[in-house]
Amino acid sequence: MNLLRFETSPYLLQHAHNPVEWHAWNDETLAKAIASNKMLLISIGYSACHWCHVMERESFEDRHVASLMNEHFLCIKVDREERPDVDQLYMQAAHLISGRGGWPLNAFALPDGSPFYAATYFPKSNWIDLLTQLAMLWQQEPATIRNAADQITTGIRAGSQSPAAAGHSGSAGLRVPVESSATGPPLSLQQFDELYTHYRHRIDFRYGGEKRAPKFPMPSMWEYLLHFHHNTKHEEALTAINSTLINMARGGIYDHLGGGFARYSTDERWHVPHFEKMLYDNAQLVTLYAHAFQCTGYALYRDVVHETLGFVERELMAEGGGFYAALDADSEGEEGRFYVWKEQEIDAVLGPDAAVFKEVYQVSTEGNWEHGINILLRKNTIKLHAGNHGFSQPDFELHLRGLRRRLLEHRSTRVRPGLDDKILCSWNALMVRAFLVASKAVCNENLSYAQAMHYRTIGLQQLDFLLTTFVQNDGGLKRNFKSGRQATIDGMLDDYAFLISALTEAYQTVFDERYLNVAQQLTEYCMTHFLDQTEGFFFYTHQRTTGLVARMKELNDNVIPSSNSEMAHNLLTLGTLLDIPRYRILARTMVEKMAAEIEKNIYYHSNWGRLALLLVEGPVEVALAGPEYAEWAQQLHRRYLPQVILTASAAESQLPLLKHKHFGSKTRGFICKKQLCGEPLNSVAKLLEQLD
């Protein structure tokens, strides 16, 4: 066994038996590289990565290949989910070299960590050739390698400075903290209309998502379009959202038996997934479907929320607290084996009921994937199938639910995919927020009030687990936790950003002010240890982080929103709830500096776009004061109100928006803008009417 046997990451432990003499990324390893003057071979992946497994089987388990690696390189294995800072740096190198990236990511660097080459998967023969060539070059022409490393490292450092900040007029240093009602929004509503016109040609209105394959869910993009529709009533934008959400929910990317989404679809129709299930995807998709249910009332969206959270509770929730990171794509050495079916298997389990199930979920003898294998997916509505068989829709849905349950029970006897059981602060915070958002969206007395309260309880319990587990004595965060072992990795900006977001969501759900207090403490910690005082953006890593040749900033939104865009949202929300002008000003300044990037490419700046939309008119502050505040809040919670920042209490509160607003035993609501409130409203109906 190699040194990875001492690690906790499931991905690193998968490689602990390789003949490669793997090291973990740490100061001791980097010092050893410099002392031995060996090139670094940095191989980065994650436990649910299919091609990472392939390269391990082909190359890293081969003794001849391992001997080449061990002789000429100091080999480091990195779990990109534990160390996204390392991944960011060497992924940037790969993009500079080839314009491409992915995992496994294999980077080669000087002993000090400066990269000179980086690429993704290599077949065994190509890998051997590359190792041999680089070893020879290091021996015969080391200056060539050093020159390449200098050029790439210079490029990385240049890229780590925000181009938006560098090109922004008057951006040398933070703005003087002055708020003015005369200042216009970073982008106007007309600019957002033009932005949509320019983007719409990329939307696949037939199948949803973008016109491309593979297709990633990209929840942040559809959250943006939902907010855009809310502000503009743009019907085509809502059509794009519904096409995307309906097709994903019917497609093979969705697990129709167990709930939850796979990471992406390999085709344009969402039919054939890459079968790994990631915590962060499912957290964001629950939030998106919950918001879409608030907006449209579509029962399908509500069902996806229930089924996906059921999957999370059943398969990803740790007994002692926290949510696990991922389920692997592979089982028994085959991708998707756990999830797919042959027709005869379904016939054997369901008997005479199999015909109806096969009709609904597109199962056939020849298979809808390959080699007679079927991925469960739907093309038509349940209503249509029910009519064809003479059922009412509710009765037919109940019948189908029973069939799915029988198949799920049978599927549970199969060999399960590997579980990545590490607990990451940022991803857990996303899932906490998902439970809380879901609890509000489905909170209907006639529908699922008890289920909503169940989601709220889980969300708050898991939030308390995160605060107990990850917050340190100095006020900072750690990133990782596994099997009760103390985390060793400092929290990164996304850990802070998404935990602060979960805390503000918790406050606006149950109005416990301690959540705001912790959110403010974490924000102040970020201002001290992460903020670049020159550019006005946050670095991704803590100022005490060592071993990286550049300190990066994460600005582009991707499958997860960027940590800077999420921090900007947090600053506006907290700045409004606590009336802290410097928070609001920094949030606005960040968006202003990103405005040109939003206009260039909304797809990779969608979370920034949502904040810019919010600033067109500014947030609407709603204050509820009095003994019935919870009942009033429940009415608001069921609505999609992306402009509203909500505060409430039964008794006198020192929060700025609640001061001097209590009328004894009477409950009143107030609609405010920039801390200035209108007349007290004596019914929730009047409050909702004015909000409309």
pLDDT 10s digits, 113-125: 999 999 999 999 9
Confidence of residue 9 (pLDDT cuts 50, 70, 90): very high
Mean pLDDT in residue range 429-441: 97
pLDDT of the residue at 170: 36
Confidence of residue 179 (pLDDT cuts 50, 70, 90): low
Amino acid at 345: E
| Domain co-membership, 545 together with 670 | no
Quick: pLDDT tens for 359-371: 999 999 999 998 8
Confidence of residue 181 (pLDDT cuts 50, 70, 90): low
For 390, other C-beta atoms within 10 Å of its C-beta total 8
DSSP 415: P
| Domain co-membership, 351 together with 456 | no
> Does residue 97 have a pLDDT over 70?
yes
Last residue of a domain, one of 617, 637, 667: 617
| Domain co-membership, 514 together with 572 | yes
pLDDT of the residue at 662: 86
CB-side neighbour CA atoms (13 Å) of 50: 17
Cα 80 to Cα 103: distance, rounded to the nearest angstrom? 9
pLDDT of the residue at 163: 56
Task: Determine, yes or no, domain membership for 455.
Answer: yes
| Domain co-membership, 230 together with 152 | no
Domains of the chain: total: 4
| Domain co-membership, 612 together with 630 | no
| Domain co-membership, 458 together with 581 | yes
> Does residue 388 have a pLDDT over 70?
yes
| Domain co-membership, 572 together with 433 | yes
Tokens 């003015």 locate to: 180
Beta sheet of 644-649, edge-to-edge order = 644-649, 620-625, 668-673, 676-677
Mean pLDDT in residue range 184-200: 94
> Does residue 180 have a pLDDT over 60?
no
Cα 75 to Cα 16: distance, rounded to the nearest angstrom? 13
pLDDT of the residue at 177: 47
Cα 120 to Cα 127: distance, rounded to the nearest angstrom? 11
Quick: pLDDT tens for 628-671: 999 999 999 999 999 999 999 998 898 999 998 888 889 999 99
- Percent pLDDT > 90 in the chain is 88
> Does residue 45 have a pLDDT over 90?
yes
Of the candidates 316, 299, 297, the one whose C-alpha atom is nearest the C-alpha of residue 249 is 299
Task: Determine, yes or no, domain membership for 194.
Answer: yes
Mean pLDDT in residue range 561-581: 98
Last residue of a domain, one of 368, 388, 411: 411
Of the candidates 94, 96, 95, the one whose C-alpha atom is nearest the C-alpha of residue 119 is 94
| Domain co-membership, 514 together with 610 | yes
| Domain co-membership, 349 together with 494 | no
Q: Which residues pair with 78 in a beta bridge?
A: 44
The helix/strand/coil state of 205 is: coil
Q: What CATH number is given to the structural domain containing 154?
A: 3.40.30.10
pLDDT of the residue at 182: 53
The helix/strand/coil state of 499 is: helix
DSSP 252-283: TTB-TTT--B-SEESSTTS-SEE--EEHHHHH
| Domain co-membership, 301 together with 347 | no
Task: Determine, yes or no, domain membership for 671.
Answer: yes
Quick: pLDDT tens for 669-679: 999 999 999 99
Last residue of a domain, one of 617, 635, 661: 617
**pTM of the shown model:** 0.95
Task: Determine, yes or no, domain membership for 8.
Answer: yes
Quick: pLDDT tens for 443-499: 876 667 899 999 999 999 999 999 999 999 999 999 999 878 877 899 999 999 999
> Does residue 245 have a pLDDT over 50?
yes
ω into residue 214 within 30 of 0, thus cis? yes
Mean pLDDT in residue range 597-608: 96
For 637, other C-beta atoms within 10 Å of its C-beta total 22
> Does residue 154 have a pLDDT over 90?
yes
Task: Determine, yes or no, domain membership for 291.
Answer: yes
pLDDT of the residue at 169: 37
DSSP 625-669: ESTTHHHHHHHHHTS--TTEEEEEESS---SGGGTT--BTTB-EE
Task: Determine, yes or no, domain membership for 259.
Answer: no
**Burial class of residue 313, CB neighbours in 10 A (0-12, 13-18, 19+):** middle
| Domain co-membership, 386 together with 456 | no
Quick: pLDDT tens for 59-77: 999 999 999 999 999 999 9
Task: Determine, yes or no, domain membership for 255.
Answer: no
**Helix, strand, coil percentages, rounded to 5, for the chain:** 50, 10, 35
pLDDT of the residue at 166: 46
Task: Determine, yes or no, domain membership for 284.
Answer: yes
Report strand pairing: 326-327 vs 419-420: antiparallel
| Domain co-membership, 21 together with 76 | yes
* Mean pLDDT score across all residues of the chain: 94
Containing structural domain, residue 379: 343-411
pLDDT of the residue at 48: 86
pLDDT of the residue at 24: 96
